[in-house]
Amino acid sequence: MPEGGSGTFSQNQWTKARAGLILVAMEPPALAWDRVVKRYGAVAAVDGVSLAVASGSFVALVGTSGSGKSTLLKMANRLIDPDEGRVLLDGRDVTGEPAPTLRRRIGYVFQHIGLFPHLDVARNIAIGPRVAGRPTPDIHRLLDLVELPRELAGRMPAELSGGQRQRVGIARALAQDTKLLLMDEAFGALDPVTRDALGRRLRALHDELALTTILVTHDMAEALLLATRVVVMRAGRIVADETPAALMAGGGGDAAQALVAVPRAQAEQLAAMAHR
């Protein structure tokens, strides 16, 4: 019975109902951290972070070493559980389903990709669907997406370069049929040319497949060039959350500008050399 007992809605209830309808109509963020804390002894690796990532966005997570980026990311697929707060995938608490089921809905690529050494490329790519009892994915299509020659399907991981291995890792993540891709320093061990090419390919894939991508990187230039939003962490907290254009225009505060200063100074030095 509505408030007041008269059988009609009070003003207060209409307001609440309307707010509820608006919330239902709005798509929840693809991924959200809600007041999340993770401590290791006296260290708060993540210290009360709230962050909502809209579906379709490409977020770069940057910050100096030890600022909490990996810990934050790993709480999304429950490689780490928070001490406080919640993580929501498509609006639902990630603890609401078994971790293996959750992980099948999230593509996760990290630095040392950990391909199974005794399985060839095709089997590595297909491992997720196989374990889940789902049909074998189209390996050729996935190799095409990450721009690897189809004849690599039969190669063993030891017969690949580092860059090729990372591409297989991305193909394996995409084989999960996920819309959410988490990349934790996935290009960290690559030479600059390969890293640049793979970054561009990732951005193109993000657009082609309408993914939501979160890229942890140490490289501010990479963040500025690939992302639509750059989130800066320091000592477990978010200290800036800006578009690349806003950062380039001097926004985001001191910690963000200290990171932007590095590629900017390099670009200026290179430009000066060209005019010598």
In the complex, the residues that contact ligand ATP under the rule CB under 6 A are 40, 43, 45, 63, 65-71, 218
70 vs 166, beta carbon nearer ligand ATP: 70
What is the sign, positive or negative, of the torsion defined by CA atoms of 216, 218, 224, 229?
A: positive
What is the sign, positive or negative, of the torsion defined by CA atoms of 119, 112, 229, 265?
A: negative
Contact 165, 157 (CB under 8 A): yes
124 vs 187, beta carbon nearer ligand ATP: 187
Angle at Cα 112 formed by Cα 121 and Cα 45, nearest 5°? 140
77 vs 124, beta carbon nearer ligand ATP: 77
Angle at Cα 58 formed by Cα 95 and Cα 47, nearest 5°? 50
56 vs 188, beta carbon nearer ligand ATP: 188
d(CA 134, CA 112): 26
103 vs 234, beta carbon nearer ligand ATP: 234
Nearest distance from C-beta of residue 70 to ligand ATP, angstroms:
3
68 vs 82, beta carbon nearer ligand ATP: 68
Nearest distance from C-beta of residue 67 to ligand ATP, angstroms:
4
Nearest distance from C-beta of residue 42 to ligand ATP, angstroms:
10
d(CA 174, CA 202): 11
Nearest distance from C-beta of residue 238 to ligand ATP, angstroms:
12
State the first-to-last Cα distance of the chain, in angstroms, to the nearest integer: 81
Smallest CA-to-CA distance from 220 within 201, 249, 238, 244 is with: 244
Nearest distance from C-beta of residue 85 to ligand ATP, angstroms:
15
Nearest distance from C-beta of residue 61 to ligand ATP, angstroms:
8
